[in-house]
Amino acid sequence: MPFEIPDWLHLEILHRWENLSTRKWINKNPRIIISIAAGCVLVLLVVLGLMLPKKVAVEVREYKKAWFYDLNTRELFVARSDRVAPIEAPSGPLPSGEPAGVRAYVFSYVAESNESDRFIGFLEIANLEVGKKGPKPAISGVGGAEQWGRGGLIRRVTDKKWVPADSDKGKAILRELYLPNINGEVAHYLPP
């Protein structure tokens, strides 16, 4: 048999609840109560807004030196990063008389890499159709690999033909570069 509240106790509780001064005050002043409730909701929204994670702008690091690739000797060398490829290479010009140094983007799957862990992701030269102005100016909100090769021609070391970096073939080269290896590791850029 469940416990039941006696009727006299139940009536006494209801009588006291109705006679509470706070309840009467609330019934007489609904605008104040609505204002308090609206203030609480506003404070809750401000607190929730402060707790949401902020979108942090990614800082694209500018290096003073860059990797370049000597097309004659097939070796890497270092030069100032503000130079626009093709540049003069240590081995001299190509047989055609053009400079043999092209920009190289070197990557590794290992954080602390040695020379054997490095590989060249792609090579880059200025697009002669655009002129030797170098890459297009940076677009705000676009960083990392999306900035590489903008306005230039790229190719893999084993390729013969240069393709615009923003073409489908150029984008395929960049996409392929970031595919995970057999161990599931993703390549990262190595500055000189």
- The tens digit of pLDDT for each residue in 89-147 reads 999 988 888 898 999 999 988 877 777 788 888 999 887 665 444 444 444 444 444 55
Indicate the DSSP class of residue 87. B
| pLDDT number for residue 1 | 58
Distances (CA, A) of 49 to 36, 40, 44, 108, 176: 20, 14, 9, 40, 39
- Of residues 71 and 142, more confidence is placed in 71
Domain shared by 95 and 126, yes or no: yes
**Distance from CA of residue 8 to its chain's centroid?**
70
Q: What is the DSSP letter of 115?
A: G
pLDDT of 157-191, one tens digit each? 998 899 888 888 988 888 888 888 888 888 888 88
Quote the pLDDT of residue 138. Answer: 45
Q: What's the pLDDT at 142?
A: 45
Q: Kindly state whether residue 1 falls inside one of the protein's structural domains.
A: no
SS3 of 28, please?
helix
Q: How far apart are CA 150 and CA 9, in angstroms?
A: 82
**Residues in contact with 178: Cβ distance below 8 Å, sequence separation at least 6, in sequence order:** 145, 186, 187
Q: Which residues form the domain of 41?
A: 7-51
- How far apart are alpha carbons 60 and 120 in whole angstroms? 20
18, pLDDT greater than 90: no
Query: What is the biggest distance separating any 2 CA atoms in the chain, rounded to whole angstroms?
Result: 111
Q: pLDDT at position 37, please?
A: 92
Residues 14, 46: one domain? yes
Tell me, yes or no, whether 59 lies in a domain: no
Residue 73, pLDDT score? 92
In terms of domains, do 113 and 19 share one? no
Pairing of strands 75-80, 101-108: unpaired
Instruction: Give the global pTM.
Output: 0.60
Asked, as a colleague might, if the bond just before 93 is cis with ω within 30 of 0, I would say no
CA distances 31 to 10, 34, 45, Å, are: 32, 5, 21
Q: Are residues 32 and 106 in the same domain?
A: no
pLDDT of residue 46: 92
Mean pLDDT throughout 68-76? 91
Placement of tokens 């489908």 in the chain: 168
Does 57 reside within a domain?
no
Specify the number of domains making up the chain: 2
Q: Are residues 118 and 148 located together in one domain of the fold?
A: yes
